[in-house]
Structures are given as structure tokens and as C-alpha cells.
Amino acid sequence: MFILIRDWSSFRSDVFFFFLLWCSMFYALTYRWKNVHLQGQMLRVSNYIKRINIPVSAIKKVEASSWWGRQRTIKITLWKDMGFGKTIIFVPRLFGRAASEIEQELRQAKFRAGCDCN
């Protein structure tokens, strides 16, 4: 109904294309973002569309990046693909400032699960 009564003579194509460009750039820059939470012995990973639970025992390696050049990230390598690939990289809270603490927390959870983690 809206389309039938809309006056299309005032349509601004430049605004529409700016909005389309902005949405495209936002998607291109953020489509790999993940939300990661540790709950007990499960790692909950979501890309805001799909959510999976990964047992801590499925983690092969946990690494926190250094400060050189960019934000600190945490890289979790899994023994096998669990739905988001074998590698999950995320920026922890406080823009990466808490990367070392979260890395230690993940390693301790892995140790409590009975697996060694480097």
C-alpha cells in the first residue's frame, strides 16, 4: 500500500546509494565477528546468527597476541572443525586489554577438563 501512494519524485538516489554503500562496508568489515563466552566446561561461540557450544576438551591451543601493531586478540585452535572452522579469533573485553587474563582462564578450564594446553 505504501508503494502505491508514495510520491517517487522526491526520492533521493544519492541517500539510498550512500546507505547501501555504508551497509555493504559494515558487513564486509564485521561478518567474521564472534561473541565468545566460557560457561563451565563449555565455550559458547556465536556469530549473532548461529550459536554453537564447544567443549573445552576440543581446544587444541590458546594464544594471546602481542600489543605490536594492532589490538590484542585471542586465537583458539580446535582439534577439528566445530561449525566456525578450526580457528576462532576474537578481541576480548576492554579492547583486548584483558587478553592475558582470558587466555589464562581458558587454559585453566582446559586443565580442569583433564587436557593439557600449550
Look at residue 48 and tell me if it is in a domain.
yes
Number of domains in the chain: 1
Q: What is the CATH number for 71?
A: 2.30.29.210
Query: From CA 57, how far away is CA 50, in angstroms rounded?
Result: 21
Whether residue 7 lies inside any domain: the answer is no
How many angstroms separate the CA atoms of 75 and 66, rounded? 12
Domain that residue 103 falls in: 34-118
Task: Kindly report, residue by residue over 38-84, the tens digit of the pLDDT.
Answer: 888 899 998 888 899 999 989 899 888 876 656 788 888 999 998 88
What average pLDDT score do residues 21-46 get? Answer: 86
pLDDT of residue 2: 53
Residue 87 belongs to a domain: yes
User: What percentage of residues in the chain have a pLDDT greater than 70?
Assistant: 83
Return the DSSP state at 41.
Answer: T
